[in-house]
Structure formats: C-alpha cells, structure tokens
C-alpha cells in the first residue's frame, strides 16, 4: 500500500517469469555484460595506476628528480649542497659523480653506469638503502674500492659479496706498454634489487674512489636534488641553479624518464576510454531488452492506461525496470572489480609459478611483476558512469511505452 506504484510494478516486471524466454536471456546478458565491463575497467585502471606508482616510487626513487651539474665539475659541492637545500621545495641534496664503463666478472662483460656517491648523503635522496638485499651503503668505504651492484648484474656476472670484478672505462691511458684502457679492480660489498630495469646496469661506488678512477681531482660532478613534487622538478631545478649565481647545467627526470611516464599516462587514458565503450555497449543493451519488454507488455500497458495510469507513470515503470538491471550489474561489477584489483598481483604471480613462465621480463619491462593500485576516485567514476549510462538507456524504451494507445493495443485482445 505504501510502495510507489511505478516502483512496485517495475520491480514485479523485473522479477516475473516471462512467456518469452528470449527476453529473459537478453536481460541477463545485458546485466552480465555491464557487470564484466565495469569489473574489467576497474582492474585495468588499477594495473595502470600500479605501473604509475612503481615508476614514481622505484624508478624515480633511484634516478634523480633533478640535478645541478658544474662546468665540468663543482669546485665546492658542500657549498652548493647547502645553498640548494635552502630552496623551500628541495627536501634534500647529495653529490655524485657519474660515468659509463664496463665490468668484467665470471667470464662475462656488461656495460654499466658507475655512480660515485657519499653514502650518508645518498640515503637522503634515494631509496637504494631500503632495497639492499646484501650489504649496505655504509660498506662503501673510501680508499677500499668497494662496489654495490644490482641483483640482475650480480646474477649475470656470477658475483657475490667479497668477489672481485674489473671496471673498465672507455678512456685510454698512456703507459710504457702503450695506450691502455683505464681499469681498476673493485670488491663487491653489496647487492640491491628494486625490481626495475636499471638494476641490470647500475653500480654504486664511493665518490672518493670514483673521483680517483675518473680523475676529477676530488671534485663532484653535480648535486642530486629531491623535490617535494615530481612535476615541479624542472622549475625547482632552474630556480635552485639561478640562486647559485654561477654557470651550471641542470637536468631533471622528465628528460631522462619523462617519455615513459607520459606513455603510461596516455595508455591509461586511451585504455580507459576504450573500455568505457564496452561498458556503454553493455549499458545500451538495456535498450533492446526494454524495447522487447514493452512489446511483450503492450496489453498490460493498455490496461494500466484505461485504469487511469498517466504516461509519466508508465514511463517510470519501465525506467525502474531498466534501472534495476543497470544498478545490479554495476554494483556486482564494482565488487568484482575491487576484488580483482586487490588480488590481481597475487593471481598473476601464482599463474607464473604454475606455468613456469614470467609474463613481465625485467630485460624488457622496467619492472618484473604486475602491480596494482586501487584508487577509489577511479572506482567512483567508473561506477557512476555505468549507472548514468544505464539510466540513459531506459529513456527511449520507457518513452515508447508511455506512447502506447490503449484502444489500439486492446483492439485484438
């Protein structure tokens, strides 16, 4: 008695068994299609968010947000370090020396980036200390020529802490025996692993040892900056360099890894739009369902009209029926999408173990596992879009139902 008549009849039509089972089948497929579309969209966007997070936390946790380099070296890196950290958006700074070379060990040769650091300073701007699997940054002692390597590099060269490897620089030195490449024996003192691609060609040595190897005269090549906002890094680096008042070269992560980040953002947007079309197709299947229901219920509509039901009430009856299909499909799809996004990483990891096959190879991708980062704003947008499209899909069939002529419909009854 107290239930709205339009809602009550719409609910009865939804739950009632139909003479035409094909209509029930189309209604069920519409609901399942909407459910799967919403779930897949949530899972895929969560995976894209996971790649975005891993890029920020791991890749950009290892590479500098921004750097200020000297021309060619910094005469007094301590003063530069102190000056740039006065900028309100610079959280920390650390000196470095970089060079490219080759390392040999275990009968293999690999090209690597050799980075000279001050361990206590590097710990403030990099995540490498938290990614150590053997040894620590404190094991880099000046004068002992210790080196820390990534796990893939250690595996490739069959290295363990305590092993020796030879670092070869692409610079020639003149000796009594002729022109010889510059080389030095180092001792492996640690191994790190971030799960990113750079683990395979990234090495760390003490800055004093790097200065001797690269003959910088004890000077740092530049200062690495950690900023409070990644996207503000170019501006912050420029402002910090201008505050020094000399001639400096600046760079930031957007020049070295910006294309990767942009590609992920673009892929997330495009994939999101494409999958939203799948949700739209599933939602608008409700149109065909309701059109057939209206055709099947033409006699009932005519009787309701003769009993005093207004066109607006008839329209609301079928809008309620379509809305129930859309709401149920969207809510179940949202629940499945949330569960899938939370456990997709474990599921893929288990599947890799069963198949004995790695889907994401670290030699190809910048991480070796499938990340997932469920963000509730994405869930809200996807669910809201599914509901809105479902409601819009009910308008035309409901309008057609409200236009049924009772006399014409009951003529042959």
Tens-place pLDDT, residues 7-50: 667 666 665 555 556 666 777 777 888 898 899 889 988 988 88
Instruction: Give DSSP secondary structure letters for 64-110.
Output: -SEEEEEEEEES-HHHHHHHHTTSTTEEEEEEEEEEEEEEEETTEEE
Helices (runs of H) and strands (runs of E) counted in the chain: 14, 10
Residue with token string 């057939």: 292
Sign of CA dihedral 39, 45, 51, 56: negative
pLDDT score recorded for residue 141: 92
**What is the Cα–Cα distance from 44 to 22, expressed in whole angstroms?**
32
Strand residues in 213-306 grouped as ranges (E):
220-227, 249-252
Q: Tokens for 70?
A: 């000297």
pLDDT: which is higher, 180 or 157: 157
Q: What is the pTM of this model?
A: 0.70
Q: Which of 7, 67, 79 is nearest to 253 (CA)?
A: 67
Strand residues in 228-359 grouped as ranges (E):
249-252
pLDDT at residue 336 tops 50:
yes
Tens-place pLDDT, residues 236-256: 999 988 888 878 889 888 887
**What is the Cα–Cα distance from 340 to 137, expressed in whole angstroms?**
38
Tens-place pLDDT, residues 137-171: 999 999 999 999 998 899 888 888 999 999 988 77
Answer yes or no: are the C-beta atoms of 166 and 103 closer than 8 Å. Answer: yes
pLDDT score recorded for residue 176: 59
């Amino acid at each position: 008695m107290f239930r709205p008549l339009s809602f009550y009849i719409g609910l009865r039509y939804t739950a009632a068994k139909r003479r035409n089972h094909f209509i029930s089948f189309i209604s069920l497929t519409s609901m399942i299609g909407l459910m799967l579309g919403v779930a897949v969209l949530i899972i895929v966007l969560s995976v894209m968010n996971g790649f975005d997070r891993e890029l920020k936390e791991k890749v950009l946790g290892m590479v500098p947000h921004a750097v200020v380099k000297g021309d060619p070296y910094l005469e007094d890196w301590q003063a530069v370090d102190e000056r740039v950290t006065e900028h309100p958006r610079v959280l920390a700074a650390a000196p470095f020396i970089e060079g490219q070379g080759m390392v040999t060990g275990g009968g293999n040769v690999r090209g690597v980036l050799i980075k000279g650091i001050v361990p206590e300073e590097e710990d403030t701007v990099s995540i490498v200390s938290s990614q150590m699997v053997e040894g620590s940054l404190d094991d880099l002692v000046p004068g002992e020529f210790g080196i820390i390597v990534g796990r893939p590099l250690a595996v490739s060269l069959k290295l363990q802490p305590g092993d020796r490897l030879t670092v070869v620089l692409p610079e020639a030195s003149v000796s009594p025996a002729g022109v010889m490449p510059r080389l030095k024996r180092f001792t492996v003192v640690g191994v790190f692993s971030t799960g990113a691609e750079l683990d395979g060609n990234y090495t760390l040595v003490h800055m004093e040892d790097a200065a001797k190897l690269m003959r910088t005269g004890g000077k740092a090549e530049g200062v690495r900056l950690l900023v409070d906002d990644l996207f503000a890094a170019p501006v912050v680096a420029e402002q910090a360099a201008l505050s020094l008042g000399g001639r400096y070269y600046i760079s930031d992560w957007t020049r070295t890894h910006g294309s990767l980040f942009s590609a992920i953002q673009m892929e997330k947007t495009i994939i999101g739009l494409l999958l939203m079309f799948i949700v739209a197709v599933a939602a608008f299947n409700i149109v065909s369902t309701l059109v057939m229901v209206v055709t099947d219920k033409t006699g009932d509509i005519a009787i309701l009209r003769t009993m005093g039901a207004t066109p607006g009430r008839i329209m609301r009856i079928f809008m309620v029926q379509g809305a129930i299909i859309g709401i149920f499909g969207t809510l179940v799809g949202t629940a499945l999408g949330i569960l899938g996004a939370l456990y997709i990483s474990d599921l893929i990891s288990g599947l890799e173990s069963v198949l004995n096959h790695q889907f994401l190879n670290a030699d190809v991708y910048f991480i070796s596992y499938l990340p997932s980062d469920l963000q509730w704003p994405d869930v809200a947008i996807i669910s809201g879009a599914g509901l809105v499209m479902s409601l819009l899909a009910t308008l035309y069939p409901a309008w057609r139902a409200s236009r049924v002529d009772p006399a014409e419909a009951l003529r042959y009854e």
